Structure 1
Amino acid sequence: MKFAIVFVALFAFALAAPLGEEAQIVRYDSDNDGLGGYSFNFETSDGVARQEQGHVENAGTDYETLKVSGSFQYYGDDGQLYQVQYIADENGFQPQGAHLPVA
């Protein structure tokens, strides 16, 4: 459930674009192995890009976990390119980026 919420929020954030010219998808690839493993990546004409891969560990046990890693980038209103790498696993969503605060 947590993964779905994070995924939807990140996807909506990555696709959000200022009003005006509509971005076009210039690349899109996806794969699903049917066993819980997947990967995808896309890039749009306005510089938004995202790639992600995930797989299930300990399938069918009480310790079943979806492990996800990926990255996304976008241009902010200030014209800067922002890039974020992340993992999401039993320890939650863990983003890293030069513009993000570090605990």
Structure 2
Amino acid sequence: MIYTCLTTYMLSTVVLSSCQRNDAILRNDFDGPYADGSYKWAIQTEGGIFHEQRGSVKANPEHSLLVEGQYQYTAPDGQVINLLYKADETGFHPVGDHLPTPPPIPPLIQRALDYLASLPPKDYN
């Protein structure tokens, strides 16, 4: 797990340095990893890139890692991109206004799905 935390930190630093070669790093904090597996870090450049993350080990049978964070930067078109994320044993879960969303389910399809969900389960044995 220490390897994963440090790899994530170093990867972020490399990405920042390759994307913004002339921007000074204003903030570069790293705490941990601690004995309980928790850590947190944050980095910020004068060019407006900000990324912070914290992680901990969940007390479940798998002792899975829970990671939460956010990053922000300005896209080439001038749009400020702000993404919040959570990653756990179920996958990566991003939230951001810039992310595409699926179209709504057409009413007839939704009615069919609701009907199928209302049927009793079949025993195929």
Matched-pair contact (CA < 8 Å) for 1:14–1:48? no
Q: What is the Cα deviation at residue 35 of structure 1? A: 2.4
- % same residue: 34
Q: How far, CA to CA, are the matches of 1:86 and 1:71 in structure 2? A: 6
Bigger Cα Rg: 2
Report the 3-state secondary structure (helix = DSSP H, G, I; strand = E; otherwise coil) of the residue aligned with 2:87: strand
Aligned length: 94
Instruction: Give unpaired runs (5+ residues) of structure 1.
Output: none
Q: Which has the higher helix share?
A: 2
Q: Which residue of 1 aligns with 2:28?
A: 28
Q: TM-score, normalised by structure 1?
A: 0.77
Instruction: Give unpaired runs (5+ residues) of structure 2.
Output: 103-125
Q: How far, CA to CA, are the matches of 1:13 and 1:69 in structure 2? A: 20
Q: TM-score, normalised by structure 2?
A: 0.64
Q: What is the Cα deviation at residue 34 of structure 1? A: 3.0
Distance verdict in 2 for CA 1:90–1:70, change over 3 Å: same
Q: What is the Cα deviation at residue 41 of structure 1? A: 0.8
Q: What is the Cα deviation at residue 78 of structure 1? A: 0.7
Aligned CA RMSD, in angstroms, stands at: 2.5
Runs of 4+ deviating beyond 3 Å: none
